[in-house]
Chains A and B, each alone.
Chain A
Amino acid sequence: MGTVAVQELKQKQAEQEALITGAEAIAVACKLADVDVVTAYPIRPYDTVVQYISQLVADGEMDCEYIAAEGEHSQFEIVKHASMCGARVFCGSSGVGWMYAMECLTVTPALRVPMVAMVGNRALDDPGAFGVEHNDALSVRDLGWNLIWVDSAQECLDTALLAYRIAEDRRMMVPVAISCDGSFLTHSQALVKIPTAEQVKRFLPRYDRGELLLHPDNVISIAPQCNEDWVMEIRRSNYAVTERALDVIGECYADFEQVFGRKIGNPFFEEYMTEDAEVVLVGMGTLSTPARVAIRKMREEGRKVGFVRLRWFRPFPAEALAKCLRRFKAIGVVDRDYSLGSPYLSGVLATEIRTALYPGSGPKPPVLGFICGLGGREVLVPDIEKMTGFVSQAAAGESVPLTQWIGLRE
């Protein structure tokens, strides 16, 4: 595991570029963020991150307690308690491993623990598949986790630093899960700008748990049995976090741009060739790669098409996204997930976007749902063209099914 990043870090130079994978970029961010406790448990593709971290620890490049747990449940409970005792923590999982930790995933936001986790998105069993599907991370969407999907190794590193800043903001104190598409992102190398420790220190203040700290100096009882007397008020305080989350995230991104001198723009979603577009596709994660290629190709053919890549799924930027999407004649939502029995049998994202568009008196363009790329199946340029074709038909007033599976063997 003698990695490029490890060697680069040893040189301790000013900001530099390294050719690293998405997983390695997250490991480098953990080192830069001076994480105190890291837990590991093997499951592909998440485990590559801790393989890199274990090497950084072994080489004396990263000073943390590094614990290989005996299962994901313990993995998440160890870091949850470490965070409650004031330590900055990192862990993560993939697929059914994430589901094995589900009990811990429910209590982490409830206890106001600003854990940062990485989800190497992977299909849930059964049958077994290593490839990407988004159902693992999406399973916690109602529980108070902040969920972001990234699409490049650079965005992995940047987002991990942002995630600590956002999660540990006193107005938040809730966890962030960074979703990285299995293989396509976790195991693909790209050139990444690695900031200096000084820059990171300037951007990321020390984690301060304040009056919530579990330490002999702070005699409190945390999460005693409440029942109907107080549970509702306590839930409401977590809900209040979601009311301010979009603003806090916006602030943190603005600071990030200032400190690191790199422009990210709208933190919540990224638009590609949408200025004069008539129809757009919307999706998350590495789907953006074939989508951009296909859109450039279709643009050459004179078709006014664009792509919107959603980053933050929780908090869901409903107003801003609805404002953006109402400009188009029709919208196609590409789900790398399934939501069996859902409204119109659509994927999760399609249902969320229809919901986002419903309030208000603005235009309500037709929203088509596409389910594709499951189990790690590659989404190809012709798939994107095919989906865009259906969206164009809907824009022209033709009747098109609300949900379709794309790239399915006939």
Chain B
Amino acid sequence: MNISSEARPAQKLEPFKGVKKVALEEYFTSGHRTCQGCFSAQTMRLLAKAAGPRTVVLGSTGCMYVANTSYYTTPWGVPWTHTQLGSSGSAALGAAAAFKAQMRKGKIADEPINVIAVCGDGGGADMGLGAISATMLHPAYNLLILMYDNESYANTDIQISGTSPYGANTSFSTPGKVKRIMNQRWKKNMAGLIAAGHPTAKYVGTAVSSQPMPVMNQVRKALSAGGPTFLHVLAPCPKGWDYDPILSRELGELAVTTGIFPLYEVVEGKLEYLGKTKQIVEGRYTRKPVREYLLKQGRFSHFIDDDIEFFQSKIDEMWNRWLIPGVMPVLKDLA
């Protein structure tokens, strides 16, 4: 009897070499009911396209369930199931374990199947953190947990989550007559947290959904890694961030160029910065002031200059004082 602790072979998904080489088939199509300019739905489309048909998607509660996947109008062209809010990690683990056991015992055909659990920032960085953490410890299961991060509980009325930016105006943190900044928390560093705490994770990455090619190719890389993988995708949200939907792409880009959201991947422990972030780290690109990013969004419209300066100082700290810039918030000067 072969009770192996080794992962079974994963799919080998080569990167799409250029936009003209991207698969034509769509596995996330019409039927969803998300807002105009929703970059979380955009992420789902890219995810499904990159993963292809031999895939199951486990979707935890969040925008991509409530607004996205409705009875009789499902947009999914691959098998999909609802998963409880905090369960993306457990769902992926359970599905991967089921396929592994049944393939080993000859109960189903032996083939690589992509197991992808999707969670929002509420499901991932808040409620589901424990289960994601536990799942990243299991090297024998091939799975991807994709966290689409729109920085609030956006389908329940825009409430702060663990990844909402400092000071953001949400329905749980509206500025008032006495207190201007109701959200005093700094955005949770999810990918850094997963990478630092889980050396068994085969792939940990960040991406921004305004850049379709990197998102798809990072998904393909993660699914090919063989083992537990995690991808944090920043997804601009016109409703929650309060901006004109036409600006979704631009805000995604600004999140990177201002240095608020670093792009990187950690593959089997090796860190590599990506895109503009790489240029920032190598000194080839000067970060734009965060003011340009903040002032385009209604959720920061109550900010005064002091707030913007504070925000800027925290971003500067990420790049100038963190031991691993943008990734590891242990300060260099204390090391």
Q: Which residues of A contact B (CB under 8 A)?
A: 34, 36-37, 57, 60, 63-65, 67, 69-71, 73-74, 77-87, 89, 103-104, 107, 111, 206, 214-216, 218-226, 229-230
Are B90's CB and A78's CB within 8 A?
A: yes
| Cβ of B246 under 8 Å from chain A | no
Given contacts A36-B98, A87-B102, A230-B71, contact A225 B84 (CB under 8 A): no
Which A residues lie within 8 Å of B100 (CB)? Answer: 65
Residues of B within 8 A of A60 (CB): 1, 3
Distance in angstroms between the alpha carbons of A384 and B83 in the assembled complex: 47
Cβ-defined contact, A82 with B65, below 8 A: no
Interchain CB contact under 8 A, A82 and B76: no
* CB-based contact B95/A214 at 8 Å: yes
Q: Which residue of B lies closest to A81 (CB)?
A: B94
22 A-B residue pairs with CB within 8 Å: A36-B97, A36-B98, A36-B101, A65-B97, A73-B87, A74-B90, A74-B130, A77-B87, A78-B91, A78-B94, A82-B101, A83-B94, A86-B108, A111-B81, A214-B81, A216-B54, A216-B79, A218-B79, A220-B79, A225-B65, A225-B66, A229-B71
Q: Is B69 an interface residue (CB 8 A)?
A: yes
Q: Which of A70, A74, A214, A220 is the most central at the interface, judged by chain B CB atoms within 10 Å of its CB?
A: A74
Q: Which chain A residues lie closer than 8 Å to B79 at the CB level?
A: 214-216, 218-222
> How many B residues touch the partner, as a band?
35 or more
Q: Is the CB of A85 within 8 A of B98?
A: yes
Contact A219 B78 (CB under 8 A): yes
- Once the chains bind, are A36 and B81 in contact (CB under 8 Å)? no
Is the pair A81, B138 in contact by a Cβ cutoff of 8 Å? no
List B contacts of A216 (CB < 8 A): 53-56, 78-79, 113
Whether B90 contacts A73 by the Cβ 8 Å rule is: yes
Complex CA gap A78/B90 in Å reads 5
**B58 on the A face (CB < 8 A):** yes
Instruction: Say whether A221 contacts B90, CB under 8 Å.
Output: no
Contact B134 A74 (CB under 8 A): yes
Q: Given the complex of chains A and B, what is the CA–CA distance between A227 and B58 in angstroms?
A: 20
Q: Is the CB of A71 within 8 A of B70?
A: no
B97 in complex: contacting residue of A37, A73, A229, CB < 8 Å: A37
| Assembled-state Cα–Cα distance A224/B56 (Å) | 15
Are A74 and B87 neighbours in the complex by a CB distance under 8 Å? Answer: yes
Question: B38-87: which have CB < 8 Å to A?
Answer: 53-56, 58, 65-67, 69-72, 74, 76-84, 86-87
Q: Tell me if B105 is interfacial: C-beta within 8 Å of chain A.
A: yes
Residues of chain B with a CB closer than 8 A to A111's CB: 81
A-B interface, 3 closest residue pairs, ranked by CB to CB distance from nearest: A81-B94, A77-B90, A85-B98
The digit string for B1-16, where 1 denotes a CB below 8 A from any CB of A, is 1010000000000000
**Bound Cα distance from A225 to B99, whole angstroms:** 26
Known: A74-B87, A216-B79. Contact between A86 and B71, CB under 8 A? no
- Nearest A-chain residue to B55, judged by Cβ: A216
The minimal Cβ–Cβ distance linking A83 to chain B, given in whole angstroms, is 7
Interface residue B237 (Cβ < 8 Å from any Cβ of A): no
| A82-B1 contact given A221-B69, A222-B80, A225-B66, CB 8 Å threshold | no
Q: Given the known inter-chain contacts A81-B94, A214-B56, A225-B66, please indicate yes or no for A71 contacting B130, CB distance below 8 A.
A: yes
- B133 at interface (Cβ–Cβ under 8 A)? yes
Q: Which residues of A contact B92 (CB under 8 A)?
A: 81
Q: Which of B53, B55, B70 contacts A224 (CB 8 A)?
A: B70
The residues of B that contact A74 with a CB separation of less than 8 Å are 87, 89-90, 93, 130-131, 134
* Alpha-carbon separation in the docked complex, A229 to B91 (Å): 27
Q: What chain B residues lie within 8 Å of A226 (beta carbons)?
A: 70-71
- CB-nearest residue of chain A relative to B140? A65
State whether A82 and B97 are in contact (beta carbons under 8 Å apart), knowing that A214-B81, A225-B66, A225-B71 are contacts in the complex: yes
B107 on the interface (CB 8 Å rule)? yes
Residues from chain A with Cβ under 8 Å of B198 in the complex: none
B82 touches A63 (CB 8 A): no
A229 to B78, CA, bound (A): 24
Whether B1 and A63, one on each chain, are in contact in the complex, defined by CB atoms closer than 8 angstroms, is yes
Q: Provide the bound-state CA to CA distance between A65 and B2, in Å.
A: 11
Q: A77-B90, A81-B58 are in contact. List 20 more A-B contacts (CB 8 A).
A: A36-B105, A63-B3, A67-B93, A69-B90, A74-B87, A77-B91, A77-B131, A78-B91, A81-B91, A81-B94, A82-B94, A82-B101, A87-B97, A89-B98, A104-B84, A214-B95, A219-B78, A221-B69, A222-B80, A222-B82
B296 on interface, CB distance cutoff 8 Å:
no
Q: A36-B101, A37-B98, A74-B89 are in contact. Are A221 and B84 (CB under 8 A)?
A: no
The complex places the Cα of A103 from the Cα of B69 at a distance, in Å, of: 21
Verify A78–B56 contact, CB threshold 8 A. Answer: no
State how many angstroms separate the Cβ of B7 from the closest Cβ of chain A: 12
A77 and B98 within 8 A (CB): no
Q: B302: CB under 8 A from chain A?
A: no
B102 → A minimal CB distance (Å) = 6
Contact B97 A67 (CB under 8 A): yes
Q: Which residues of chain A are near B90, meaning CB under 8 Å?
A: 69, 73-74, 77-78, 81
CA distance A230 to B107 in the complex (A): 34
Which A residues are CB-close (under 8 A) to B278? Answer: none
What is the bound-complex CA distance between A83 and B94, given in angstroms? Answer: 8
